[in-house]
Structure 1
């Protein structure tokens, strides 16, 4: 699974408050991310919340490189999965693995995040 490394991220960028993400739900936020030698660029990041825990993934389906949300920040979630609104690829929320659909076996690209003092930040 590809992960955006901490060295590629602006240090401790605040993304949103934890209470802005519904418990058991998701939202999308824009973050400044860099990929390798490139300058940072704004990217959409999916934040999935379970209680006090948050997981982050790039909002890009590995099948078509399109966003997974059906409207900005609105996602199809069912039984601990995230479903791409374009072609129905289904991903485990816990690890980003595609378990059904056209990109089965591929992963969403993880973005390391952490919750600190009620804020979700890049780790």
Structure 2
């Protein structure tokens, strides 16, 4: 099944982002979902308009497994530091070990937070 992962930054409209191919009913943890999202970003040839990646490591990460794993680790660290949060079916998932069972109508949204700038 194909699931569209949406992004939302600040109060902007939802942006369709990545398409996750997964088998219906097969569970995965939130940490695994974040991992899949990062790997999709690294393997994607062209960026969606206005999309902001969870981790920016450049094109070299697509060819270097160590850099790919570093990108995943950075994204998980960002999640723990509240750089973004994840909503699955209108429910915020706060624990990376939470098991999610995906269905064809599952809605996944990554809400990307912008750091405040002080003057």
Bin of the TM-score, shorter chain as denominator length:
0.3 to 0.5
Which TM-score applies when normalising by structure 2?
Answer: 0.34
Q: Which has a greater percent of strand?
A: 1
Which TM-score applies when normalising by structure 1?
Answer: 0.34
Higher relative contact order (CA 8 A, sep 6+): 2
